[in-house]
Amino acid sequence: MIKGVAAVAWVLAANSWLMTQSAPPPKSSNGISVNQDSLTIQDFSKRVDEYVKLRKRMEAGLPAPKSKSSSADLKQYQASLAQKISAERSQAKPGDIFTPAVSALFRKLIAMPFKSGHGSKIRASLRHAEPVRGLSPAINQQYPQTVALQSTPPTLLSDLPKLPAEIEYRIVGRELILLDSAAGLVVDLLPDALPASQPGP
């Protein structure tokens, strides 16, 4: 009798394990596997962290600007830091951080607010913002100091992964760029980040 009960329990446990193995992963609100989303975001964050580590090594070789440094000194520091990073990343290319998987996920995450209750406000904000036109960002190039950074509605990028303090998201036309704020350097870029129906260059 005891053996029979044990056998039934073993069969039930085995069936339960098989069901968990065959069950599909849960879905997020955009229809993508939550597990796959997490893996993609982890990969993105790892690549960003690798850049930040490289950046800190380059920064360590420069005298830190003082709180009372002149505007000219700050510009020189920025140019020197950008030059060192660019030389170290001479083989960098688009997609090193915005991989195909990351790009696909980011485009979906950015498109979602346009379909939400905030969509009309986001569109109005983009129309009233001073769009950046005639600028073609490139990896390892400095963002021109004479070109204003386009203001971006916070809700537009709220679903994207958080970035280290040294890096920020910026919209240029329909592109999303990763900008090293201290070096003024374009780290990577995502073409067609905004839906095609939105203002572009």
Among 188, 12, 46, 33, smallest CA distance to 103 is for 188
59 within domain boundaries: yes
User: What is the structure's pLDDT at 103?
Assistant: 97
User: What is the structure's pLDDT at 130?
Assistant: 60
User: What is the structure's pLDDT at 132?
Assistant: 63
pTM of the predicted model, to two decimals?
Answer: 0.74
Range of the domain at 54: 34-190
User: What is the structure's pLDDT at 129?
Assistant: 63
Gap between the Cα atoms of 109 and 117, Å rounded = 15
Look up tokens 């990343």; give the residue: 89
Output Rg (C-alpha) for the chain, integer angstroms: 23
Kindly report, residue by residue over 68-107, the tens digit of the pLDDT.
778 888 888 889 999 999 999 999 999 999 999 999 999 9
For residue 97, what are the CA distances in angstroms to 30, 34, 110, 195?
A: 22, 20, 17, 21
Three-state SS for 188?
A: strand
Among 111, 197, 126, smallest CA distance to 160 is for 111
14 within domain boundaries: no
Instruction: Give the residue, 99 or 154, on which the prediction is more confident.
Output: 99
User: What is the structure's pLDDT at 180?
Assistant: 95
Kindly report, residue by residue over 25-68, the tens digit of the pLDDT.
555 555 555 688 899 999 999 999 999 999 999 999 888 777 77
196 within domain boundaries: no
181 within domain boundaries: yes
26 within domain boundaries: no
1 within domain boundaries: no
179 within domain boundaries: yes
User: What is the structure's pLDDT at 73?
Assistant: 82
Phi–psi pair at 164, nearest 5 degrees: -60, 160
18 within domain boundaries: no
Looking at residue 153, its amino acid is: P
Kindly report, residue by residue over 108-153, the tens digit of the pLDDT.
998 888 887 777 777 777 766 665 666 788 999 988 876 767 667 7
The region of weakest confidence among 79-88, 152-161, 176-185 is 152-161
User: What is the structure's pLDDT at 31?
Assistant: 53
Domains: count for the chain: 1
The region of weakest confidence among 86-95, 172-181, 190-199 is 190-199
